[in-house]
């Protein structure tokens, strides 16, 4: 999709931009046409301008300026990639949009998942790189987001735990990173009992994928991603409707691979480690059961209150391993709880951290780049709801309250040495099409996190 971006074109048609109620900012001929057709310039609306020999250009509606940030407005260019006909187009410099974000928005809006379609897609419009845009950054950001979307959109029959491993190896090969994998029963020998327990019922063996990149003496940044290739719920089986989107339960793994790609592609001065516990939560005679007590890598015993709360179990073992190195920053990303969606909806993932400085940096980056994230509290009194009478902790609560918070508190119990830890409860899915892309898999938070890491550690 990044081939939709051109360095230059002598035949490019102009794209003007206008806020709602601001048609007077358009060139005279465009203004008259827009007024005659009743164009309202709503956010992401697109109108074509006629000329004597065909099209003379287009107008992008920016919506009402109130309540919109500069980044959100610039990213509306994604609508152009979906509405304009084939041909070369160029944004009018008078549009006043951030050039890098405007180019990025166009490429994100151009995304389509076409792996399984037999009929080739029609050629789409191409955009001339706006003056002042950072082309390498635009291409890296767009291709990384597209990669996340591709991984999540791929059905499970083509992306089981071995497929997740292949995807990680592909990213590693692109940037010269190293990968090691702990597979099947070797997980027990290496002391990852909960990863093994969750994944052992599948016909494809569970595994822990371990990617490393960067100088060994650089600040350690570790990313952990939930890689549940498919979640039946285990013996606490989901209803049929609850399984329809479970191919996306590896969305945490997809997002950390996208973030890792941004870190490596930007050559940040860090020692990067990516840990992905990859499993299928299947049903078989050897499935783990409600009421079982599992021993974790940390030594904590965990009573299983529900086998459908499996993501936190595999993350706990991976977090315990990551924590042993005392990283500067430890981030985990997971499609973890429905409670997060009840609280904030699908477009606004919550994050949790006790590091006030890191929380502030994430919030600022989220707003500046229009990569929505919202901090929720690690409310310690709720931890008592995870109590077990026979083990150190339960993997779920019995009261059903604050599910995203209690899941975060469960994970926090396996992090002791990291200087900063943050947990992101992402949805990984866009329910409805919008300017930034069609319905389907979505990268969430990785642009903001990459910006935070770049600001902290710089580029080499």
Q: Distance between CA atoms of 9 and 350, rounded to whole angstroms?
A: 42
- What's the CA angle centered on 79, arms 76 and 82, to 5 degrees? 160
Which residues have a Cβ under 8 Å from the Cβ of 299 and sit 6 or more positions away?
Answer: none
Specify whether the CB–CB gap between 266 and 459 falls below 8 A: yes
In degrees and rounded to multiples of 5, residue 37 shows phi and psi of: -90, -5
Residue positions annotated with a catalytic role: 238, 312
What is the distance, to the nearest Å, from the Cα of residue 260 to the centroid of all Cα atoms in its chain?
11
Q: Which residues pair with 57 in a beta bridge?
A: 49
Which residues have a Cβ under 8 Å from the Cβ of 7 and sit 6 or more positions away?
Answer: 128, 129, 135
Q: Distance between CA atoms of 454 and 431, rounded to whole angstroms?
A: 31
Give the Å distances, CA to CA, from 70 to 62, 66, 74, 173, 360.
Answer: 10, 11, 6, 36, 19
């Amino acid at each position: 999709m990044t081939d939709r971006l051109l360095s230059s074109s002598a035949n490019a048609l102009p794209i003007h931009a206008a806020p709602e109620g601001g048609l007077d900012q358009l060139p005279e001929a465009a203004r008259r046409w827009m007024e005659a057709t009743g164009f309202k310039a709503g956010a992401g609306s697109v109108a074509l301008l006629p000329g004597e020999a065909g099209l003379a250009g287009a107008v992008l509606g920016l919506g009402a300026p109130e309540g919109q940030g500069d980044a959100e407005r610039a990213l509306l260019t994604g609508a152009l990639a979906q509405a304009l006909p084939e041909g070369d187009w160029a944004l009018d410099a008078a549009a006043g949009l951030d050039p890098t974000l405007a180019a990025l928005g166009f490429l994100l809006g151009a995304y389509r998942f076409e792996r399984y379609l037999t009929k080739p897609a029609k050629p789409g419009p191409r955009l001339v790189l706006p003056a002042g845009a950072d082309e390498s950054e635009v291409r890296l950001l767009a291709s990384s987001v597209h990669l996340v979307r591709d991984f999540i959109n791929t059905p499970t029959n083509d992306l089981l735990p071995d497929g997740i491993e292949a995807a990680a190896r592909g990213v590693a090969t692109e940037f010269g990173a190293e990968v090691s994998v702990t597979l099947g029963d070797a997980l027990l020998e290496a002391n990852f009992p909960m990863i093994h327990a969750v994944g052992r019922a599948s016909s494809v063996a569970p595994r822990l994928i371990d990617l490393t990149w960067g100088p060994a003496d650089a600040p350690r940044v570790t990313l952990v991603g939930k890689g549940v290739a498919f979640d039946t719920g285990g013996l606490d089986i989901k209803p049929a409707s609850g399984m329809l989107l479970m191919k996306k339960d590896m969305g945490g793994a997809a997002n950390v691979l996208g973030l890792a790609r941004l870190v490596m592609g930007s050559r940040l001065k860090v020692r990067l480690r990516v840990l992905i516990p990859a499993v299928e939560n299947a049903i078989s005679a050897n499935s783990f059961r409600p009421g079982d007590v599992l021993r974790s890598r940390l030594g904590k015993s965990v009573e299983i209150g529900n086998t459908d709360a499996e993501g936190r179990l595999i993350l706990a073992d991976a977090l315990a391993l990551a924590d042993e190195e005392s990283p500067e920053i430890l981030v985990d990303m997971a499609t973890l709880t429905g409670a997060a969606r009840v609280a904030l909806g699908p477009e606004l993932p919550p994050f949790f951290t006790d590091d006030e400085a890191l929380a502030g940096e994430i919030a600022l980056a989220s707003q500046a780049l229009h990569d929505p994230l919202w901090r929720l509290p690690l409310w310690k009194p709720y931890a008592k709801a995870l109590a077990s009478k026979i083990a150190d902790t339960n993997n779920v609560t019995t009261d059903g309250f604050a599910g995203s918070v209690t899941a975060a508190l469960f994970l926090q119990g396996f992090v002791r040495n990291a200087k900063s830890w943050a947990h992101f409860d992402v949805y990984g899915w866009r329910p409805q099409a919008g300017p930034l892309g069609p319905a389907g898999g979505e990268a969430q938070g990785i642009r903001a996190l990459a910006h935070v890491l770049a600001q902290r550690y710089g580029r080499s």
